[in-house]
A and B are shown apart, each in its own frame.
Chain A
Amino acid sequence: MGTGWTRRELMRGSAVALFAGFMGPWGISRRARAAERFRAVHLSDFHWGYRGPWNRHPEASLRAVLERVRGLSPRPDLMLVTGDLIQATPESSQRRERFQQVKSLLDSLAIPWVAVPGEHDTFGDGGAMFEELIGPRYYHRTVGPIHIFGLDNVSRGPLLEPRQVSWFRREIQALSRDSIILVLTHAPLFSLFIPWNWYTYNGTAIYHIMRPYAAKQFLFGHIHQACDREYEGMNRSGLPTAWPLPEPGPLVRLEPWPQGATHPEMGLGFRVLDWQGGRFEEPLVYLEPPVVQEVTP
């Protein structure tokens, strides 16, 4: 997805795949896997094109985050974007322009990237332009030792179409039980807070399919804050680059905090995923840490 795959990276990826092919089913023995390293960056919720008090310069915030990503050492092998790349707009020409700008910015890092749609990305056309400019709404990619599944749980409502669930089941069942699997969605697959639409109506179908697989993780966005939740495996949210949202709790309308003049980047950032020694390390990188700490639902 994106045109971030340079020839060198493509060759490196092919070499890894060839090497993996010679090492046995789905690549690599357990011991070899423990010695492998893989670094990804989890980005989310850019809302490119937003104008208002929640972030007076969302473009500047995204650029600041991407600069931090560019400076990471070792360099990430992949960027994962969990939706809401743009702010929803009914104007299709404006939508196209926003997608193209975000794509060009992500491509400029020369790091391969994949994305899933958020409800802002699919507003107005059900995700048609996302598919045209960014990539398919749901897909399976293999990068190094990791199987990455992107799913769309927003474009047809807060749910996964049965067709998509069937496709996912077929793809997963073709993998060996010791595969390392990352599942990307925009909204959480579990019911984090239904009154704010922080859930997927039939998300349990995915957890059920994934049960036999131990090395798995579910990454999502949408909630604009850090959240680690053990539910049928680890579920982790990415940090937003646009604006932070409050913790769920009191039954009030969901409203972001107005951006403070003195702390414009509070709560914004990204997550690093380091696969090392057979497990993930996933530190958060804030442009500025939030006042309210991580959600503990």
Chain B
Amino acid sequence: MMRSWAMWPLLVLLFWPLHPSPRKPVPAPLPPPPTVQEGARLYHRACLSCHGPRGNGEAFVLMPNGQAAPRLDQLQGTAKTVPHLMQVIGEGRGLMPAWRTVMTPREIQSLALYVASLNPASPAWHGWAGHPRHSTPASFR
């Protein structure tokens, strides 16, 4: 009898590691960051026909008014910054649709990165160096 009582602490020690410990909350995985590669893929699907394969305005189709969409490889000043491009792509401008109706904010960022890259002297963008939201235009938050 005495010996079986002595077994209990031993058993507890033996199985303690298997005792379910209170789970730490697992943080939701961060979505993959936007990339120029994804932007290029989206450009091919959404922009190429009107802005041309190199973004230089050599469009494959003209708009219903017979005009070509503007070239994207000679943007000046803030026009070629990623936040500005995101704003234009998301909200649309002129005959260009508001792509935010069918693209996610990350896709729009990728697309903006790609369009910015078409401009040789486009300023470096550090939106993902800190918190991604810090450089997301207000309308996409």
Contacts and interface: CB of A to CB of B under 8 A. Distances in A.
Contact of A196 (B46, B49, B53): B49
B42 to A, nearest CB: 10
Contacts of B96: 157
B27 to A, nearest CB: 29
A201 B49 contact: no
A53 interface: no
A45 interface: no
B134 interface: no
Contacts of B102: 159, 162, 201-202
Contacts of B132: none
Given A88-B64, A195-B48, A197-B50, A253 B101 contact: no
A193 to B, nearest CB: 9
A161 B46 CA distance: 15
A216 interface: no
Interface string B85-99: 000000010011111
Contact of B101 (A161, A195, A252): A161
A291 interface: no
Interface string A145-168: 000000000001111011000000
A265 interface: no
Contacts of A175: none
Size range of the chain B interface in the assembly: 20 to 34
Interface string A66-98: 000000000000000000000010100000000
B133 interface: no
Interface residues of A, number: 21
B49 A195 contact: yes
Contacts of A90: 65
A159 B97 contact: yes
A250 to B, nearest CB: 10
Contact of A157 (B44, B61, B92): B92
Contacts of B50: 197
A194 B64 contact: no
B52 to A, nearest CB: 9
B46 A253 contact: no
Given A161-B101, A252-B60, A194 B65 contact: no
Contacts of B98: 156-157
A159 B49 contact: no
B53 A162 contact: no
A120 B64 contact: yes
Contact of B97 (A123, A157, A252): A157
Contact of B46 (A156, A162, A201): A201
B41 to A, nearest CB: 12
B60 A123 contact: no
Interface in B39-96: 44-46, 48-50, 53, 58-62, 64-65, 92, 95-96
B60 A157 contact: no
Nearest to B44: A194
B61 A196 contact: yes
Given A195-B48, A253-B59, A156 B64 contact: no
A196 B50 CA distance: 8
A83 to B, nearest CB: 12
17 contacts: A88-B64, A119-B64, A156-B98, A156-B101, A157-B96, A157-B98, A159-B102, A194-B44, A194-B45, A194-B48, A195-B49, A195-B53, A195-B60, A197-B49, A197-B61, A253-B58, A253-B60
Interface of B: 44-46, 48-50, 53, 58-62, 64-65, 92, 95-99, 101-102
Given A123-B95, A195-B48, A197-B50, 20 more contacts: A88-B65, A123-B64, A156-B97, A156-B98, A157-B98, A157-B99, A158-B46, A159-B97, A159-B101, A194-B45, A194-B49, A195-B61, A196-B60, A197-B49, A201-B102, A251-B60, A253-B58, A253-B59, A254-B61, A254-B62
